[in-house]
Amino acid sequence: MSIDVDEPLTPAGRLFVQPATDQIINCVLGLDRPVGIEITRSVISDSLLIKHPRFTSLLVKDNHGREHWKRVELEIDHHIIFLPDAVGNHEDDEAAVNDYIADLTVSCPLSTDKPLWEVHVLPAHKCVVMRLHHSLGDGVSLLSLMLTMCRKVSDGDKMPTIEPPSSSKSDRRESAIYTLWKLLKMMWFTLIYMFEFLLRSLWIRDKKTALRGGAGVELWPRKLATAKFSLDDMKTVKNAVVNTTINDVLFGVISSGLSRYLEFHSPKPLQEGLQITGAAMVNLRPSQGLQEFTELMKNGSKSRWGNKFGMMLLPIYYHKNGTDPLQYLKRAKKMIDKKKLSLEAYLSYKIGYFIMKCLGAKFASLLNYRIICNTSFTISNVVGPKEEFMIAGIPVTYIRTTSSSLAHAITMHMVSYAGKADMQILVAKDLIPHPDKLAKCFEHALLEMKEAALKLTGEKPSKFQTSLAKKCEISDTNIHEV
């Protein structure tokens, strides 16, 4: 039964319901103990989720094919999928849940007969999986909404919060000449990077490697692995290079890890310095850090619910193992500093919005799809709460997220929580048959950088004798290319 007038989808929302760019966010909450269906129903019934118009509306089309939200009465039981038995044949909970989610990313779209979200309860593996269509909102909005259902472990009356990320900017006063030079560089970098965006949407593409996908790869079967990092380790590395951020460290780790993986898994020797381009999602909200749900929905707030993020094209370069591990970080920082100085992310959002309004969702979806096909991987990083929190009195042990499969052979999403950072690595298994080995390459890349950072600061390094070659080497030689 309809209970409200129809609301049209935003341009970004329309993009995410197009077949080529249809996206579902799969968020996993690990729990300290199993949860039952009654507790799940109670938490949802008492949450702000059921009061939000996007979560109580059907996606419908009018006679002209335009998508709208149509408010309906919510039937909570239709959104809860309870699986009392273990999923898959794995004895390890993490492997079983990862395989379960990997299957969801390819073969299980959300039904349009109900609002576009589901909660899968897996008590045998002590976790719940929240499936939310990307047209409902971006990672910032959806994580903010989720946190309204949670409370701090240290104070059961307070919701968890997320502190603003530390800035790497200097506090020095800038002269007029320096400001003018900075403005000129911003204009120059913006011009170069937007021209590259244009070329990527037309014909320029990465060279073929064991990591690159292409058109149609989004339909291939998937595997999922988890790389686990310590935020303390990342901060140790960050402090080794002046004005470095956690994002710089993350991209340095990815650069080192992918180079290490390709060194052992490429069917033929690769050229030193070969470019491998990633598409990075960038939050464009005016506030630093995540806003609470109440702030996002407040009248007059500069932050708005929905999708508000841009895209940056971030290149990394293949280098053989044996160089200073911190060189990967320094190269990543130098590149990202130029990207942040430009308006690439902001203009990618504004131009995409303009194309959606003027040329339609199908054309905008085609451009986005071509950019994905012509690059090699996707990366995103969301900052989560520093303190542990609980839901329905049950402590949450981890937060992990991934999205529907793309035309990339590798998609990476990292979320930090309570001193840890877990990165979900979703791969096309015919191209990357052992994503767990790739995850190990990333983990050991961080540890190797940490050892180098400790030596720089004069601290005594720990014993780090693991053979990276053996850990990252892949025995399979059957490489498929698109």
How many domains would you assign to the chain?
A: 2
Residue 478 has pLDDT above 80, yes or no: no
Query: Do 60 and 113 belong to one domain?
Result: yes
pLDDT at 369 over 80: yes
Does residue 311 register a pLDDT over 80? yes
> Does residue 165 carry a pLDDT above 70?
no
The pLDDT value given to residue 143: 83
From the number of C-beta atoms within 10 Å of its C-beta (0-12, 13-18, 19+), residue 322 rates as exposed
Mean pLDDT of 184-193: 94
pLDDT of 169 over the 60 cut: no
According to the model, what pLDDT value does residue 8 have? 79
Q: Give pLDDT tens digits for 395-420.
A: 999 999 999 989 999 999 999 999 99
Mean pLDDT of 63-87: 89
* Residue 163 to residue 246: CA distance in whole angstroms: 14
Does residue 144 share a domain with residue 268? no
pLDDT at 453 over 90: yes
Residue type at position 387? E
Residue-wise pLDDT tens digits, 370-390: 999 999 999 999 888 989 999
Is pLDDT at 292 greater than 60 in this prediction? no
Does residue 192 carry a pLDDT above 70?
yes
Residue 233: pLDDT above 50?
A: yes
pLDDT of residue 467: 44
149 — pLDDT class (breaks 50, 70, 90): confident
CATH code of residue 314: 3.30.559
Question: Does a structural domain hold residue 107?
Answer: yes
Res. 466 pLDDT band, cuts 50 70 90: very low
* Cβ neighbours around 300 below 10 Å, total: 4
Q: What is the pTM of this model?
A: 0.89
How many angstroms separate the CA atoms of 158 and 385, rounded? 13
pLDDT, residue 481, reads: 35
Residue 474 has pLDDT above 60, yes or no: no
What is the model's pLDDT at position 188?
Answer: 95
Are 145 and 184 contained in the same domain? no
Q: Which residues are the active-site residues? A: 134
**pLDDT reading at 479 higher than 50:** no
Provide mean pLDDT across the span 15-36: 92
Q: Which domain holds residue 105?
A: 7-152
- Please tell me whether residues 190 and 65 are part of one structural domain: no
| Residue 97: CATH number of its domain | 3.30.559.10
Is residue 478 one of the residues assigned to a domain? no
- 198 shares its domain with 142: no
Question: Is 189 part of a structural domain of the chain?
Answer: yes
For residue 482, tell me if it sits in a domain: no
User: What is the model's pLDDT at position 290?
Assistant: 44
395 within domain boundaries: no
Q: Are residues 113 and 222 in the same domain?
A: no
The pLDDT value recorded for residue 51 is 83
Say whether both 144 and 280 belong to one domain.
no
> Are 335 and 443 within one domain?
yes
In a domain, 173, yes or no: no
Residue 294 pLDDT class (50, 70, 90 cuts):
low
Confidence tier at 78 by pLDDT (50, 70, 90): very high
pLDDT above 90 coverage of the chain, percent: 57
Given a cut of 70, whether residue 2 has pLDDT beyond it is: no
